[in-house]
Structure 1
Amino acid sequence: MSPAKTKSLSQILMANMLLVATVSCVLIGCLWVIQETYRFNADVVAMRDSMISARKQRMKEQVDSATAYLQFMRRQAEARTRTVIRERVHEAHRIATHLYDRYKDTKSRAELEAMVRETLRPIRFNNGRGYFFATRLDGIEQLCAACADLENTDLSDLQDTRGAYVIRDMVRLVEKDGEGFSSYTWGKPDAPGRDYVKISFVKLFEPFNWFLGAGEYLDDVEEDLKREALQWIQDIRYEGGGYVFAGSWDGTSLSGPAVGRNMYGTTDRNGVRIVQEMIEVSRNGGGFVSYVMPKLEGQRPEPKISYAAGLPEWQWYIGTGLYIDDIERGIAEYRRRSTTELMYSIAKIFGSMLFLWLAVFVLVARINRKTRGMLAAFSQFFNRSAHDQREISTADLTVQEFRDLADSANSMLAERRAAEEALREKSEELEGYFTLSLDLLCIANTRGEFVRLNPEWEKILGYPTADLEGRSFLELVHPDDKEATLAAVRALSGQQELSIFENRYRCADGSYRWISWRSRPKGNLIYAAARDITDRKRTEEELRRSEARLKDIFDTMPNGYYLSTRDGRFVDVNPAFVRMLGYSSREELLQVDIPRDIYVEPQEREHYIEESLNPEFLSTDFPESYRLKTKDGRIIQVEDNSRYIRDAQGNILYHEGICRDVTEREMAEEMLKASEATFRNIVQASPMGIHLYRLDSDDRLIFVGANPAADRLLGVDNSQFIGKTIEEAFPRLGNTEIPLRYRRAARDGESWQTEQIDYADGRVAGAFEVYVFQMSPGNAAVLFNEITARKQAEDDRQQLQLQLIHAQKMESVGRLAGGVAHDFNNMLGVILGHTELALQGLNPTHPLYGSMQNIRKAAERSADLTRQLLAFARKQTVAPKVLSLNETVNGMLDMLRRLIGEDINLIWIPGPNTGTVKIDPSQIDQILVNLCVNARDAIGDTGRITIETGRAFVDRDYCQRHADATPGEYVVLIVRDNGCGMDAEALSHLFEPFFTSKPVGKGTGLGLATVYGIIRQNNGFIEVESETGKGTVFRIYLPRHSSGLEHKTELPAEPTALGDETILLVEDEPMILDMTREVLTGLGYTVLSATTPAEAIRIAREHADGIDLLLTDVILPEMNGPDLARNLSGSHPGLRLLFMSGYTADAIAHHGVLEEGVHFIQKPFSTSALAIKVREVLDQETVPGDGRVP
């Protein structure tokens, strides 16, 4: 049995006192910790509830604020809409008033109405939905820009879906108040049904007994408002990445991370139907929803609380939310602070326990004081024994046990002195070997740490040995050697001796040195001797690399290598030599007999050897050239650099040489000599100019020569340029790509050809075609021809071809338009005339009265379209006046500003002394209205339109570049805008009829075609400059007129329509003839009618003194109207003439421009227009003998 453990009295007392103190501290500490933990948990719960409550209240306030703002926006929508349409109608009223005031003295009622209609028709607003309508007070629709099929229709009985009479209510409103709002249901363009609520504003236009109006659909306004609201919601952001989201009650997400998706069925991982619950609480006045956020882009899938409230009018819910973990982070911070306080409390407990331990220590010290003296002697002995071997004295020990222990200690001390002496002598001997050895000596442990190193380590690695001892040697081992080193350490740990092991160690300067080891393990230590073998390793590696390089050179060198014996056998050859002689392998070539198989004649080898042994041959550095025979019998010429290898006695052992096949080179040299002679002859005789250049090392391109043709083509002596750079010889080429192209040809062999060199510098001038190519590396030849005349002819031909194509195209379209207008106007004349005759005979209460009015309006609308076609075709019949362009434009500015709106700035820059032009004033109005409306549509929102005038002189050079121009003096009208501009494709079709880039229903495509026709009709031309995103500029050139302004002639306010004169009516269309005769007869005139010119001449002869007016169609069979008038003018002096036509075909007007004094009425015409025009012609004084025949 083991002896029982004993304890001293002091130990027993110490243990008991510490036990009591420990138990007391533990009990007190536990109660304290429990109390602090309970208080901490209660505080955390209270804080969480407080933070969640505050955040919920804030979310509710944010959502309630958003819904209140949206309600406010929705309530203001109708008021805002009423303001917009009222301002637009007032604008339309101002435009119509301006047009009426400006042209009421020069235009008929029908022309004025058509002008107002066509001016208001293209105007759009409210994102293109808004348009103008006009209705006569009797209910006849005059203008409906979005529903042209209703124009000229009686809408008095039109009712909306609620039974209200829409037009009647508007008539009553304007008759009573002059203007006001009207609400009704109406159809929408491109939408089914007629039950869309619409608000319209109407205003009376007294000159025509019309009311003008515009409207807006409430659902369209509401849709605009919804889009505006969603944009406002999407822009709301607040701290912490918070946002407001919106959705519809059908589950569609309107904003937020899932915008555009239907989230109605979305559930979180706990089964909560998130969107359905939000819809439910929003229907019930608002509430909170707790859920786990689904995986959406930009959102983390964590628990979340959201508040949602409803917008019942739109069936939307509006909400915002917060992540629960945002609150938990605040609670975590509070928990951290509380934990610090708790640790402080625990520290106080440990302080109390320490105080108790100190009290116990003081008590035990008093008890131990009596026994300390006896123990002190032993303590001093053992403390002294490490450095002092004096024995312990037993005289002072009174206890037997302590005396026996002292005797044993003295005996042990004597034995230790003897062992230490022997060990010291041995250690001194080993220390000498260890310190003085030139090898690297090391003691390490099996953990891989240096224990001791001799001084040689510091010399090799550069580290102080003190820094390495105790450090892991694996830290210094090269990364590639660590695995092998670890394996070696494991082997040594298993007590296996390693004879040789090599690895690399890192030195203090960062380099690595190779170390070779011999190691032996002993217990946990490893004893090793090592040597630095870095130099040996480097030598071995360099030797391997050198051998590899020589092998690579030997195998890859392009020249052949051979080593042969004196008697004619190859010892070694390289692959190039094998290929040169046509053999399949090295081994095959080593077997051949050199004199017989390689030399053309066997004796040639002996002759070559004898020559090579000649001292004069040995003293030269030039290679020997001779012939060899390949395996297939070909004869090749080789150059050989060779030497003899001799033994110590000077005897020849081997013949070694490097040779190359120069057969092709010698052939090429011969061919080159012949080619150079041929090339020299070609260059001198070439009809093309040739320049030769050399590229220097500093990239300077030097002129080195030219042929005679170059002197002839350039007209200068090209020898003056020799030695100069290309930039010095031809300075105008310095800023072009040509020197770069020439350099590329000389340096890189990159050929180049062009016909686009136009050069002039005072010595040389012309257009040239050039071809440059590389003659040899660094040398280029330039071949050139002068093509000035040819290029000018090609440019002229191309320009004339483009002008011809354009002219033919526009002329063809014009003929088509004129022909259609002529036939169509004849048909419209019959329809319009008979309709008016029928209306005159019908009571307004008759059931057919309204239908006849609709027929008349449709005919008038069709006539407006044919007038636009005639304007494009330059067949519109006009009465030009000499006028000031500045004054005419200035008078239109107010109307144009109202037309384009307040958001676009109209700038007027009149040019000084522009002079006058001769043109129908209404055509200036048409040009400016069409160009300004186009500019307004191109600008969109806000922008600038500038109108300028000026003078220009056009010469023949300019006319060659512009197809429509003719030389002369012009007045220029410029209209520029900063709108969206046009691309090249749109510009190429700009003036074609019916071409438009606007959406369907937004334009007819006749606006710019009409402008083009008017300008060409007045012998002008137009230029257009435009670029996408940079706006458009129209420059209109009108011939400058030399005479002064014409004075405006006041027309009678109301010509008398009735009369009793005799009228000769000539018309080849029977229906038009009958209708016109009936109208004139009804006005009191005596009408003589004829369908052909021959019949008209016969009737005129029968009534030699009784015809006052000839009313004739312009286009007639046998002879035209003017020819008939000339025929009758001789027999009827003073005969008044009135021509009528749907298409004049230049018979009475040149490109539609009436000649001086010619009276004309355009088909189709109304009965009132005919009555007024006939009366006007009959009442005008004439000069006897002047028949007014064009």
Structure 2
Amino acid sequence: MPKKIQRKLKKAHYELQKSEEKFRLAFLTSPDAININRLEDGIYLDINEGFTNLMGYTREETVGRSSIELQIWNNTEDRAILRKELEEKGFVENLEAKFRAKNGEIKIGLMSARILNLNDENIILSITRDVTEREMAKKALERLLTAIEHSAETIVITDINGNIEYVNPVFEKLTGYSREEAMGQNPKILKSGQHDRIFYRDMWQTILSGKTWQGRIINRKKDGTLFTEEATISPVFENNGAISNFVAVKRDITEELRMAEQYQQSQKMESIGTLAGGIAHDFNNILFPIMGHTEMLMDDIPQENPLRESLDQIFSASIRARDLVKQILTFSRQESSEAKLIKIQHIAKEALKLIRSSIPATIEIKHNINSDCRAVKADPTQIHQIIMNLTTNAFHAMEETGGEMTVTLSEVQLHGFKSDTPHLQNDFKSNSPDLLHDFKTDTPEILHGFNINAPALPPGQYVCLTVSDTGEGIPEEIITKIFDPFFTTKKEGKGTGMGLSVVHGIVKNAGGDIQVVSKPGKGTVFSIYLPIAENFSDTKIENSKKTLRYGTEKILLLDDEESIIKMEKPILEKMGYQVTSHTSVFEALDDFRSDSKKFDLIITDMAMPKLSGKQLAIEMLKIRPDIPILICTGFSDNISEDDALSIGIKAFLMKPFSMNELSEKIRDILDRSDILDS
């Protein structure tokens, strides 16, 4: 054989040996599992150390056996896929399959295989990379992402510069920004303006130093609404200790804060109610003799006497004071209202006198009260409360700048529920011409801008009360919240945020509606619509003059206040009754016990030292179950009318009361008792 050919053969043999050595080294040292199987029956011909490390089987345990015999495949479907692709294509790439190791542990491998011919025999050369940890990490990451996506808290991930890289669905729902809108933006898009630069500087210094920042942040939604979050912002570190990201986990606590504030306010109101009750009792005991003695003088002094006008003023002021106390109790205790047929014009005029004396001269008060307005059915004290609340709000709106307050009262005809009802704007114009004319001419869009609709009331005739001011106005973004309980824009000490909420509740309970139109820098108009009472007569209306009703029965009168006894006893005697009076509850009880038949009626105060009127009534009813008892109290929380009736007390009167009210109540009790006895 020529030497040249010999050299080529020798070189080829060398190269083959070299190639085989490389394969052998790669086969033996590869960290991946490499195995050679016979195509015909799948018998293992050889495995490397990587296979042993992955599956736990030694070479001796594996060679000569098949994968089926060793039960290596966790899912037989994976083996079927491998066989099918090898038969069709002769190779398989990156088949992910689960294998069962010798110890039963499930391994995840990424397999590539190819059919080769070795020594005239078809074999399968397979290389499998262990991706168990990677897949487990992937699954864990997927679980983590799912948890983040379904978290009840807002989660935001930013880069080192604060640019947003991820937000979860809660962020989208809470802020109004979609994920697409937020990505790449800075969290400054939520900045509310409620925190100063030092707040943000301290936050950034904390997280950039590798520490976690915790605190509350007031942010602003896409629609401008403010909300408060409890936030924890933490740095995310790379393996080398460098900060790569920041993650913020935040919880919306706006509702919690509102509820906490509401609870605090309710606690405050409860304390105020307790205080008001004590004050009301004492004040009513002072007021009661003033009213009683004034009434007696009015009864004795003829109408034409010059002193009569002064007495009328004293009595009217006493009635106002009594109603004011009732208003305080109604507000602080939420007592049940008493709807009556009333003419609002009388209450409006009285309220205007009161408000006029309490506001500075920088605010001009105008009024246009139609004296011919017909009656409505409402609680007079609550109507007074409405006027006082609205005029007080108007005063606060102009307190610093001065201005003009206008109160009007008129009758209007409403035509239905439509928001484009023409009469509404005419009503607004007629009720407060200056302000609404300014709105109509200078800024005609105001009525549309604030969505001022017709009152949500059925067609009919209504009394319309408006209170307008030329103050700072109400911003558009909060006008829908002004009737919410405890919502207020006033400075601390200027109000609790309950005023308009109470007004709204009173108006709705009376079957009416309230509308508001406002423009910042121009002013505000509140319009209240109350239905006119049908088929009323003036004789039914509250405060109409009645004649005293007289009697001759014997009355036991008890009150621990001597001034009240000195006033009430002569009034009762003037009505014709025979009166025995006591200021000591025990003396009164002894007197009654000695001869209970000599009395036809017991009139007793409720709040007395050592023994209350309720306890006294129980003792007296034990002695004589049929004795009529009238309880008088300056504070209804001491006993309700239902409580009084349940223990056998015949009637219940709130101090201070008029002679007419007392005479009516006495005759009702005694005449009813006579009917039952007959």
TM-score range, shorter chain: 0.3 to 0.5
RCO comparison, higher one (Cα < 8 Å, 6+): 2
Larger radius of gyration: 1
Q: TM-score, normalised by structure 2?
A: 0.42
